[in-house]
């Protein structure tokens, strides 16, 4: 019977100007947020492309110069491509980047904290490089976050659902039509589920249509298999998030309150789940695992390596000898290796603390549906914590290979040859297995689905008590 109610309600909604007005406004903001996210993602992609183009041109010029100097007796100059020390530290430095995901416009993520491009040299530390074409973030955006589809769905989407569903039962009672409707062969539960189902179907159709339209307008490429898989997960998260709030509306309508009180209760629930609980989780994470001070840790690293650094500065600061040649170059290399060993424990501590914070945040996310959706959308968009951590691990491995490649010529005291550049390690980011991403997103969607079922089960007994609600 509820299907008949759904069909009737669907025809009514198509003629409801207030409902169409709310959905039209939401669709406009959805397109606008997709364009904003796409503009940011395209700026990042352009910056990465320019960085790679500049690197390719520089490496090509160095390779030609090395080929012309190879085998000649010309003395080494300050920026000589035959010099393995200079090439490893500056000339052949690699600009490695985390490639944008096909759905990068969905969520900007925390790119202000997680680097998307890193400059890799034979030096001890990696240098984070911001893409020069990417617009700098102002203080307002840092405080409020980016206006991307993730922000729209996490914060504003529930309010749209509340506006469409807060009076699905109380409105009929206040208009005096509930008793008449229940005199027909329809139960109060079927009436509520049919009306909620019609509204849920309408908002899901509008949401999915304009969400993917916005991605296409923003320039997202949805032709690859990976992009289609991400798009499917994206749609699943949105549908379960909508179902969660419609279940909440059914539950609240079963309390038998007025429409005004229903709206107030649902907005209060939104305030708790979207604003208060995520804030408390953030405080809890900061309390249990305080964010490490990079300045303090780096100061400790410098203190631990002060003696070694003094040796290197003493050797490189001499004007009577070239610190990049012969035995002295080997001594500098050995001192830098010692610096690596002394700095490693401090850097490992920094990485472990950040990892513990991320793991705790992921676990506590199940206490907040809004945080679950935010983390899921960041995962789908390729801006999540797990993908950045995978990128950082692969950069660390590449850094070790890059240093080892130039360490051999320095240790043997020979000059570089063309084949050394041809065989130099190249960075290629390897995405995590698709199943890992799917499990994280599906676990969040399952949690939302179970929470929705719980609220519907709690609403069941109230909806069966016809007399109290019909008055």
Whole-angstrom distance, CA of residue 272 vs CA of residue 369:
11
Identify the three-state secondary structure at position 152: helix
pLDDT in tens, the chain (471 residues): 667 777 777 777 777 788 888 889 999 999 999 998 888 888 888 888 888 888 889 989 999 988 888 777 777 777 888 888 888 888 898 888 888 888 988 988 766 567 788 888 887 666 665 544 444 444 444 444 568 899 999 999 999 999 999 988 888 888 888 877 777 777 888 888 888 888 898 899 999 999 999 999 888 888 888 899 999 999 999 999 999 999 999 999 988 889 999 999 999 999 999 999 988 888 887 777 776 555 555 565 556 555 555 655 555 554 444 444 555 666 666 666 666 666 667 667 777 777 777 777 778 888 889 999 999 999 999 988 888 889 988 998 998 899 889 888 888 888 888 898 889 999 999 998 888 999 999 999 999 999 999 999 999 888 877 544 444
Which spans in 145-187 are helix H? 149-151, 157-165, 170-174, 178-182
Instruction: Give pLDDT, residue 325.
Output: 52
Question: How far is C-alpha 274 from the geometric centre of its chain's CA atoms?
Answer: 18
Does residue 105 fall inside a structural domain?
no
Cα separation, 237 vs 211, in Å, equals 12
Question: Which tokens go with 46?
Answer: 């352009």
- Structure token digits, residue 200: 């849920």
**Residue 153 domain flag:** yes
Question: Residue 262 corresponds to which tokens in the numbers above?
Answer: 């229903």
Supply the pLDDT for residue 441. 94
Q: What's the rounded Cα separation, in Å, for the pair 249 and 166?
A: 6
Is 268 part of any domain?
A: yes
Give domain status of residue 28, yes or no: yes
Structure tokens given for 128: 């984070």
Q: 95 has which bridge partners? A: 119
Assign 188 to helix, strand or coil: helix
The answer as to whether 465 is a domain residue is: yes
Handedness of CA 76, 82, 88, 90 (dihedral sign): positive
Burial of 185 (0-12, 13-18, 19+ CB in 10 A): exposed
pTM assigned to the model: 0.83
Domain count, the chain: 1
- Point out which residues pair with 97 in neighbouring strands: 117
Is 117 within 8 Å of 51 (Cβ atoms)? yes
The structure tokens listed for 30 are 């959805």
Rounded Cα distance between 204 and 463, Å, is: 25
Nearest to 466 by CA among 168, 175, 190, 164: 190
Residue with tokens 């998030």: 241
3-state SS record for 308-372: HHHHHHHHHCCCCCCCCCHHHHHHHHHHHHHHHHHHHHHHHHHHHHHHHHHHHHHHHHHHCHHHH
Q: In what helix (H) or strand (E) does residue 95 lie, and over which residues does it extend?
A: strand 94-97
Maximal CA-CA distance, the chain: 104
Nearest to 103 by CA among 229, 227, 211, 224: 227
Burial class (CB in 10 A: 0-12, 13-18, 19+), 365: buried
Residue 441's domain spans which residues? 1-34+147-471
d(CA 70, CA 63) in angstroms, rounded, equals: 10
Nearest C-alpha neighbor of 76 from the set 334, 410, 309? 410
pLDDT tens per residue across span 183-207 = 777 788 888 888 888 889 889 999 9
CA pair distance 298, 17, nearest whole angstrom: 60
Q: Are 334 and 372 in contact (CB under 8 A)?
A: no
Are 121 and 89 contacting, i.e. CB atoms less than 8 angstroms apart?
yes
CA distance 372 to 278: 10
How buried is 417 (Cβ within 10 angstroms: 0-12 exposed, 13-18 middle, 19+ buried)? middle
């Amino acid at each position: 019977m509820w299907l008949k109610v759904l069909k009737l309600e669907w025809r009514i909604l198509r003629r409801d100007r207030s409902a169409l007005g709310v959905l039209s406004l939401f669709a406009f903001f959805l397109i606008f947020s997709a364009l904003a996210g796409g503009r940011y993602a395209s700026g990042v992609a352009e910056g990465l492309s320019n960085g790679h183009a500049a690197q390719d041109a520089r490496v090509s010029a160095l390779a030609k110069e090395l080929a012309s100097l190879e085998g000649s007796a010309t003395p080494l100059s300050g920026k000589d491509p035959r010099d393995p020390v200079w090439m490893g530290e500056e000339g052949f430095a690699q600009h490695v980047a985390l490639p944008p995901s096909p759905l990068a416009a969905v969520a900007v993520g925390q790119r202000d904290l997680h680097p998307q491009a890193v400059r890799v040299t034979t030096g001890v530390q990696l240098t984070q490089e911001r893409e020069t074409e990417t617009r700098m973030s102002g203080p307002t955006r840092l405080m409020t976050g980016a206006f991307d589809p993730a922000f729209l769905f996490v914060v504003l989407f529930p309010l749209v659902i509340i506006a469409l569903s807060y009076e699905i039962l109380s409105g009929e009672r206040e208009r005096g039509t509930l008793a008449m409707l229940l005199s027909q062969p329809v139960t109060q539960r079927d009436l509520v589920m049919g009306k909620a189902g019609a509204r849920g179907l309408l908002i899901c159709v509008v949401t999915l249509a304009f969400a993917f339209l916005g991605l296409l307008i923003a320039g997202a490429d949805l032709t690859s298999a990976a992009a289609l898989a991400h798009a499917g997960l994206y749609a699943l998260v949105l549908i379960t998030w909508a179902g969660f709030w419609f279940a909440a509306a059914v539950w609240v309508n079963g309390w038998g309150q007025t429409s005004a009180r229903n709206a107030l209760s649902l907005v209060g629930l939104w305030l708790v789940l979207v604003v208060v609980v995520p804030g408390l989780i953030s405080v809890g994470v900061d309390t249990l695992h305080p964010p490490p001070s990079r300045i303090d840790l780096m100061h400790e690293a410098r203190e631990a390596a002060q003696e070694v650094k003094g040796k290197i500065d003493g050797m490189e600061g001499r004007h009577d000898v070239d610190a990049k040649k012969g035995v002295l170059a080997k001594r500098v290399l050995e001192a830098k290796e010692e610096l690596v060993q002394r700095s490693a424990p401090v850097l490992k501590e920094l990485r472990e603390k950040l990892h513990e914070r991320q793991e705790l945040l992921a676990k506590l996310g199940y206490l907040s549906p809004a945080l679950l959706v935010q983390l899921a959308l960041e995962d789908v968009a390729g801006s999540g914590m797990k993908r950045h951590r995978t990128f950082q691990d692969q950069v660390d491995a590449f850094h070790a290979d890059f240093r080892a490649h130039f360490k051999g010529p320095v240790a043997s005291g020979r000059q570089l040859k063309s084949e050394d550049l041809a065989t130099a390690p190249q960075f290629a980011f390897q995405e995590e297995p698709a199943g890992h991403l799917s499990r994280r997103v599906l676990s969040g969607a399952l949690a939302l689905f179970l929470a929705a079922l719980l609220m519907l089960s709690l609403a069941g007994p109230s909806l069966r008590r016809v007399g109290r609600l019909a008055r």
